[in-house]
Chain A
Amino acid sequence: MSRAAEADRRISAGQPLSQLDGIPVAFKDNFCTKGVKTSCGSRMLRNFYPPYSATVVQRLAGKGTVMMGKTNMDEFAMGSGSVDSIYGPSRNPWSRSVRYRERRLGDAEPLRVQATSGQVSYSLPSSTEEQKTCEDDETLSDEDDWLIAGGSSGGSAVAVATGASFIALGSDTGGSVRNPASYCGVFGYKPTYGLVSRHGLIPLVNSMDAPSIFARSTDDLAAALEIVAGHDIRDSTTVREQYKPFSLPDDLSVKDLHVGIPTEYHAPGLSQGMLDAWSWVADLFDNAGAKVSRVSLPHTQYSIVCYSVLCACEVASNMARYDGIQFGHRSEQGSSTHALYAATRHEGFNDVVRGRIFAGNYFLLKRNYEKYFVKAQQVRQLIAEDYRHVFSSGVNVLLTPTTFGDAPSYRSFIGADNRTRSMQEDVFTQPANMAGIPAVSVPVMLSERGLPLGLQLMADNFHDKQLLTCAKWLESQVNFPRFDPVTDS
């Protein structure tokens, strides 16, 4: 509160520290915050109060923003639902939206979504034939039928969607920001790898982790990026030369833009609603004078398999430090040092984390290294090559779905195991992490169930300004009905 008061004084004195002075921000609980518990949603770090703050936390604080709190996440960011946390799952606020609840309980007809060029309108259908109700409606109580927020940065998405925070930071390794952004109807932006410092971000996969931003508009994304981006001496993978601060122009045009539609993203399982949204937006670009064409990214379909190997390997390595010696949970039992390690790690990590550590160590064994790790690295190169090829052929941005459809219910989501879920959830988002390219999920419309649908835009490495400018244009076109905590609940 005192920080907010200070910001007030600065602003009334006409000397704000930045555009975001006094603005509330939230951080996913894997960004180290000095003296403030940083748990990664894990028992292992339930007692971890970092002695330092992450670079992004410091930079935002230095520009006057006020930390509202830390947000929930899947344990060590391993998940895509924000359901695997010691603090319990994060719920999607749209579960409580009037539009959704009425439909779910069968009190109202599905939304009729009319996406014509230029405008989208929502109305009740006149024909009964088009009625669709959820099959499991009858058996559901409010308590167990809620929607997942997506993940692993679900808490941050919820914070922004509900207005609890203006801006929130998450980390995106395979889609962990774009996925919940799509489900919660907010913007989720993963900057180019190397643009934002990872110092103080507790890693999942070092070579893919990108500190990322949730906001309610593209201008907010750009304002936050301006503060957090740029070379950091403490992160050797941040680039020195590439970043020049920018703000987004107000007069927008997509006339000279070349938008690519990757055919491979038309994947089995894509919901009709998402498909409609995708073609509607493609038409928007087309009608506005952009060149829209189909492109091919043949290797992106292997991204998930490749990711599951690389991720497991880095996880196995990164998690090796959690032995209960220097910090974090330490088991009571342990007759020897190695017994102590085993007990500590068994108690401290959930099944998902332990499973990935196990797999990763297997892949890294001398006899397996070539077969798995090296192969996966090669596939990663091919995926990156796909993007390079497309962007060098003149395409400026790629337009794809962010997720298969709208937010699934908790019940249906937990039906599958974590790995299967990740494979389904990250299909459209993961390849960008492989190549390091910037990507943003833009909320474009509501589904039949009255839930948000997000589309993803991707651009070439360090073309973040172009990407966000394009997203801003799209934002201006779709007129997305934002979640309103007052009227919606």
Chain B
Amino acid sequence: MATPIATKTFRSLKHNFLKINNLLYTRIPFCKKKHQIIETAKQADQWQAVIGLEIHAQINSASKLFSGSGTSFSSVVNNQVALFDAAIPGTLPVLNKKCVEAGVLTGLALNCSINKVSKFDRKHYFYADLPAGYQITQQRQPIAHNGRINFTVFNPASPKHTIPRDMSVGIIQLQLEQDSGKSLHDEDNQHTLVDLNRAGIALMEIVTAPDMSDSEEAAALVKELQLVLQAIDTCNCKMEEGSLRVDANVSIHRPGEPLGVRTEVKNLNSIRFVAKAINYEIAEHKRILESGGVIVNETKSFDFKTGKTVSMRDKEMKQDYRFMPEPNLPPLRVYDNSDFPTTKKSSQAINIDTLRAALPVLPAEKRHHLVHQQGLSVAHALMLVADDDLMQYYNSVLAASPHLTPKLVMSVLATDLLACLYKAKLAISDCYLLPRLFAEVCSLLQAEAITTTTTTKLIQLMFNGETLPPADIIENYEWHKITDRAEIQRHCEEAVERNPKAVRKYREGKPRYFTKLVYHVQTKSNGCTDPLVVTEILKKLISEVS
């Protein structure tokens, strides 16, 4: 979202202009037209994509799902392996209560029904990093099912998604299962090396309904899921470490026709890859079907170097996982207030209602509050809720100066401060411009003592180490907003006079030449004029002259 901002006034002005444009986006009729064009293109295209996701989220418990060994990501190879994790004969699974709680909590956060009795199954396949020859999972009776995730699809960089759109996707089920180990193939020496540190770590497999129709929707769902899981602290969601991995099922069909054959792209480990892989897969399906080919139901992996998906050859035969109940684990029983056994202490069993009461405010609720109580745009609400540090900064600013309008604060924060941070390659948590001082700048802007252009410059100065109070800086640089209409009028007249070509072109129906006139005024006034006032006066001047 943060765009690099140039130091040159022109660029910053242009940026400001764009910014205003963005803020007004939803109200500009041109925008609707753009949307209509897309709709028409879609109809001509005729194909509809159907996308469902299977997401594996590692539960951030201290120990594994069925053993006492640790779960940290970067420990020495084969150093977090209990006997059970290596499938040493005679060892038995012992269910980790923390993992069950995480599963229930996540199920609740995703609006699922929690199954009071769930069961574990063995899913068999041979692989070197699966020591037991089976994975313990919950195929038949998972801990939670029938849920829903609500989120907003918005990506200014994607033409179809420049307008925030609310979406709701069904969650078919959430099951607890074991992660596998990792294989490293040493091609030179024809060896496969196995690391079992990951083997047996608890996973939540979250299966969504095939309710999505393009890659941005899928990416937005994953993003939202990350926020939810982080808010309830059941998964750290570090996709780069494999804590959250996405499998995407993709098929395409024409409206009114039955669903097409699907392919599955496995182990996508960044949100960008989720989008890219799905886009590639949809294009592949179209290419194949339009050239008269047939889609084969297969499992693929995504090669991030080439941006393509490739078939995983080891699964050329259809696997029969030969599911059977796990005989070493009794059915998993959880309770609620209505049936919690009186003989048990609260620590001995899991109470759904207790966990429900402990649910923190979830991202969707936070966004709703920001939009409806504080008057922020959906885009800004999304931005804030997606970044805890940014949210904290924003709250600190408002706490420092409660009279400030949240919308104004967020606007300055999102454009000016984030631009500085982006340029300096710093995170908001590293920002040394104190929220209190930032609030003072906002106060000046809100009091109309300075213009937005000045605000930008002021923030830049202070970000770069200027220690004077904002009011003093304004004084020193004479950055007070010009409120004298006559003075502005003078600048505008000069602009019209000096740029006859721009005036002519603008009159010929090329609105972009108008920018040049505004730019002229802004330069001459050192950015201390209000672009809206300038625009008004300029337009009046041009129409008078003609």
Q: Do A and B come from one complex?
A: yes
The reply on B476 being an interface residue by CB < 8 A is: no
The reply on B116 being an interface residue by CB < 8 A is: no
Contacting chain A: which of B24-32, B321-329, B530-538? B321-329
Q: How far is the CB of B227 from the nearest CB of chain A, in Å?
A: 35
Q: Assess whether B89 is in contact with A32, with CB atoms less than 8 Å apart.
A: yes
**Other-chain residue from B83, B90, B321, B324 in contact with A373 (beta carbon distance below 8 A):** B324
Contacting chain A: which of B121-129, B238-246, B448-456, B493-501? B121-129
Query: Given A206-B327, A316-B322, A373-B324, A54–B128 Cβ distance below 8 Å?
Result: no
Q: Assess whether A326 is in contact with B87, with CB atoms less than 8 Å apart.
A: yes
**Other-chain residue from A45, A314, A369 in contact with B323 (beta carbon distance below 8 A):** A369
CB contacts under 8 Å to B, within A36-69, are 38, 40, 45, 48, 50-52, 54
**Closest B residue to A51 using CB positions:** B83
**Closest B residue to A207 using CB positions:** B327
User: What 1/0 mask marks residues of chain A from 13 to 43 whose CB sits below 8 Å from any chain B CB?
Assistant: 0000000000000000011100000101000
CA distance A365 to B128 in the complex (A): 22
The reply on A321 being an interface residue by CB < 8 A is: yes
Query: Given A323-B133, A325-B131, A325-B194, A317–B324 Cβ distance below 8 Å?
Result: yes
Q: Assess whether A236 is in contact with B329, with CB atoms less than 8 Å apart.
A: yes
Query: Given A320-B126, A320-B134, A323-B126, A314–B94 Cβ distance below 8 Å?
Result: no
Chain B residues with CB under 8 Å of A326's CB are 86-88, 131
User: What 1/0 mask marks residues of chain A from 297 to 331 whose CB sits below 8 Å from any chain B CB?
Assistant: 00000000000000001101101110101110000
The reply on B164 being an interface residue by CB < 8 A is: no
CB contacts under 8 Å to A, within B494-526, are none
The reply on A431 being an interface residue by CB < 8 A is: no
Q: How far is the CB of B140 from the nearest CB of chain A, in Å?
A: 11
CA distance A236 to B126 in the complex (A): 26
Q: Assess whether B124 is in contact with A202, with CB atoms less than 8 Å apart.
A: no
Q: How far is the CB of B116 from the nearest CB of chain A, in Å?
A: 18
CA distance A256 to B86 in the complex (A): 52
Q: How far is the CB of A457 from the nearest CB of chain B, in Å?
A: 27
Q: Assess whether A52 is in contact with B83, with CB atoms less than 8 Å apart.
A: yes
CB contacts under 8 Å to B, within A400-458, are none
CB contacts under 8 Å to A, within B130-146, are 131-134
CA distance A236 to B136 in the complex (A): 15
Q: How far is the CB of B241 from the nearest CB of chain A, in Å?
A: 25
The reply on A198 being an interface residue by CB < 8 A is: yes
**Closest B residue to A31 using CB positions:** B90
The reply on B188 being an interface residue by CB < 8 A is: no
The reply on A375 being an interface residue by CB < 8 A is: no
CA distance A341 to B133 in the complex (A): 11
**Other-chain residue from B83, B90, B192 in contact with A202 (beta carbon distance below 8 A):** B90
Q: Assess whether B323 is in contact with A236, with CB atoms less than 8 Å apart.
A: no
Q: Assess whether B132 is in contact with A321, with CB atoms less than 8 Å apart.
A: yes
Chain A residues with CB under 8 Å of B324's CB are 313-314, 317, 364, 369, 373
Q: Assess whether B92 is in contact with A236, with CB atoms less than 8 Å apart.
A: yes
User: What 1/0 mask marks residues of chain A from 206 to 241 whose CB sits below 8 Å from any chain B CB?
Assistant: 110000000000000000000000000111110000
Q: Assess whether B90 is in contact with A201, with CB atoms less than 8 Å apart.
A: yes
Q: Assess whether B328 is in contact with A236, with CB atoms less than 8 Å apart.
A: yes
Q: How far is the CB of B45 from the nearest CB of chain A, in Å?
A: 38
Q: Assess whether A234 is in contact with B94, with CB atoms less than 8 Å apart.
A: yes
**Closest B residue to A365 using CB positions:** B320
The reply on B400 being an interface residue by CB < 8 A is: no
**Other-chain residue from A317, A338, A369 in contact with B134 (beta carbon distance below 8 A):** A317
Chain B residues with CB under 8 Å of A199's CB are 90-92
Please list the residues of chain B having a beta carbon within 8 angstroms of any beta carbon in chain A. 83, 86-95, 122, 124, 126-128, 131-134, 192, 194, 320-324, 327-330
19 A-B contacts, Cβ less than 8 Å apart?
A30-B90, A38-B89, A40-B89, A48-B89, A50-B90, A51-B88, A52-B88, A198-B328, A199-B91, A200-B91, A202-B90, A233-B94, A236-B328, A236-B329, A314-B324, A323-B126, A323-B133, A337-B127, A341-B126
When A and B form their complex, which 7 residue pairs have the shortest distance between CB atoms, in order from nearest? A320-B133, A364-B322, A206-B327, A207-B327, A321-B87, A202-B89, A200-B90
Given A199-B92, A317-B133, A365-B322; 8 other pairs, CB 8 A cutoff: A200-B90, A206-B327, A206-B328, A317-B134, A321-B87, A321-B89, A337-B127, A338-B126
